[in-house]
Amino acid sequence: MSTGDIVSILVNLAVGIYFAFIYPRTVEKRFKAMTQVPRGFVMLRQVIPKVGILIIVLTVLYALSLLMGWMG
């Protein structure tokens, strides 16, 4: 596994963790005081954590495939 692969995996994991765990809390705090939350953020609050988990899972699978020698 090259240095570029390791950096790519770490960046992808950081983005996935941010989307799955940190961003939903930030949005929740920001709009907690508001009575009417914009529609787009309601959708993002539901979709973004799932995308983050998908990024984490795919990155782990990619890292495992590199370690097992399945990919170049």
pLDDT (0 to 100) of residue 29? 83
pLDDT digits (tens, 9 = 90+) for 16-69: 999 999 988 888 888 877 778 778 877 888 899 999 999 999 999 999 999 998
pLDDT (0 to 100) of residue 4? 93
**Most distant CA pair in the chain, distance:** 53
**pLDDT grade for 14, boundaries at 50, 70 and 90:** very high
Q: What distance in Å separates the CA atoms of residue 27 and residue 29, rounded to the nearest whole number? A: 5
pLDDT (0 to 100) of residue 6? 94
**pLDDT grade for 72, boundaries at 50, 70 and 90:** low
